[in-house]
Chain A
Amino acid sequence: MDIQGRGVLITGASRGLGAALARVLARQGARLALVARGEKALDEVAGAIRAAGGEAHAIAADVGAKDEVYPIAGAAAALVGDVEVVVHNASDLGPVPLALLADTECEELERVLAVNVVGPFRLTKALAGPMLLRQRGLVVHVSSDAATSAYPRWGPYGASKAALDQLARVWAAELEGTGVRFFGVDPGEMDTAMHAAAMPDADRSTLARPEEVAGKLAQMIGDDAIPNGARLEAAAWGTRR
């Protein structure tokens, strides 16, 4: 898929991988609807893209809030037209420092699931409908290796990403052959604010730069040969090709 001129919605776009992906896709000519809770940071990302000649609209909203879903989808469609690519990148880590499940409040788990699972489900539901009508569209779920490995203290996050992966696979199975495609990406460990919050003592020199991963993600978005329902690892992307 040539991203030039296409409407792309990215959640969690105010920082880290989301912001880096927005910059890469803007350079390729995408029309961007950027979503994040942090209005000021989001405005800065969108403003910088516009200053560089790209198109980006800042939609400050919480993807975990039920009332925000149609407002996000409606504003995005009003601003960029047909939304042809959705990148579910926003994630809630849960309270930091990360805690054992035995010490996790139920409400904390619910909040993580609301942002990382239910929010993407609702947003896909709102945006996949018009994609099905057009028989064209792509939905990308950003996952984590915490979805497949049982890392102590990553319980809410890991469980939410495992659920997200499964949701993506079932979406893909149900909509196989409709022209609307799904894939998931494990971006690997990146040098982001979220990573610093989770693991403040990590050696940052061992972490991937979000810009580097965003470049790979942009290639994946442009690659129509990725099988529907696939789950890719960013770390293996360069070497596999």
Chain B
Amino acid sequence: MKPAAWPRGGARATRLLHLDPDAPPGWSFGSLRIGDLRALLREGDLLVVNDAATMPASLRGVTAAGLPVEVRLIGGGGGGGGHGEDEGEGCWRAALFGAGDWRQRTEERPPPPALRTGDVLRFDVAGASGGAGRTGSPGSRGRPLRAAIASVDARSARLVSLCFEARGAALWRALYHAGRPVQYAHTAGELALWQVQTAYAARPWAVEAPSAGLALSWELLLDLRRRGIAIARVTHAAGLSSTGDGELDARLPLAESYEVPEDTVRAVESTRRRGGRVVAVGTTAVRALEGDASSHGGRLVAGAGTTELRLGPAVRRRVVDGILTGVHDPGTSHFALLECFAPRALLLEAHAFAEEQGYLGHEFGDAILILSEQRRARSAA
């Protein structure tokens, strides 16, 4: 699939492929626009978004020996919820990259310098932004941001935990000055932080944009609400989608933190009672909802947690009926994930159709809605 290389402008409305896994053969999909969600969703349905803001998770630094290293934060930070084993406040899991930047394909990047527990990395706060617009910004500018390696993963030397020296407001200010959005070689230029935020981004928990939501405007969301479609939120610490290291990539996604608010549990329950459908916006919203339910015996329970749930054909969904997501290529982990919503053969057919229709892939690309027209494909009991 041809990737979308840049955020969509107003001129190019997101295309939407509706895939109905329960439709009779030949009636499974239709090509629409994102605004047609107004017709595809019904009164009583519930849309659940991931409200995590995208943090500037790519940091360029040097080792004590002066070797260049790029750190891409994966999750942690002590921002909320139960994080990974050894992450506390100011500490993150991170993937390390050697010289170069996002312009090179991750798998072609040179490996990072070998680091050991206790090694210190220094990040240039003043020079990292590259934008002339930040020269006038006060606070933390000029002060180096430093982090120490807290542990190195036993299986992959480029997966580490690291702890920044700074804490609280000083740390967040420095991170926002030193960091840039994580991006990949298919993008056409350096992305600004605002280009990777959804219209409802709140706490900066995601290290890559929860991109299915990038296509949603408030015009559309408020209109859906007026039509009786409820909108609820989870916060899910979306991690990296690729590290360039095959062995490490096979372990992705790592355990990720999430939070399900009380309001969302109530919204799901009331949707169930009314026979409505629960539609997750993006794979990360699915992971939060199904991950939470799977760790509570199938019931959605409000609160924060960490999930290692890997979605795929074998996973039985407990909460989510449908998904709005990007168009993913077969062979990617995202594609495999969709197999818990529709059979592989149908997904492949839909993918071929989208490709033929000129749909665009990746985070700024077009969308697919996998949702059964039937009242509920599965019994609520």
Contacts and interface: CB of A to CB of B under 8 A. Distances in A.
A220 interface: no
B201 interface: yes
A17 to B, nearest CB: 20
Interface residues of B, number: 39
Contacts of A61: 137-139, 173
B126 interface: no
Contacts, number: 104
Contacts of A233: none
Contacts of A100: none
B362 to A, nearest CB: 21
Most buried by A among B53, B203, B221: B203
B342 to A, nearest CB: 28
B175 to A, nearest CB: 8
Interface string A32-76: 000001110000001000000000011111100111111101110
Interface string B286-311: 00000000000000000000000000
A134 interface: yes
A5 interface: no
Nearest to A128: B218
Interface string A11-30: 00000000000000000000
Given A62-B136, A74-B55, A75-B172, A67 B203 contact: no
B173 A67 contact: no
B137 A129 contact: no
A133 interface: yes
A228 B198 CA distance: 26
Most buried by B among A59, A78, A82, A133: A78
B6 interface: no
A22 B38 CA distance: 43
A129 B77 CA distance: 23
A60 B194 CA distance: 19
Contacts of A78: 77, 79, 172, 203-204
Given A67-B131, A79-B168, A74 B204 contact: yes
B168 A57 contact: yes
Interface string B190-211: 0011100111111110000000
Contacts of A68: 134, 137
10 contacts: A65-B136, A74-B193, A77-B204, A79-B172, A83-B202, A126-B197, A126-B201, A129-B202, A130-B201, A132-B218
Report the 9 A-B pairs with minimum CB-CB distance, sorted nearest first.
Answer: A60-B139, A71-B176, A130-B202, A75-B172, A129-B200, A74-B204, A57-B169, A67-B133, A77-B203
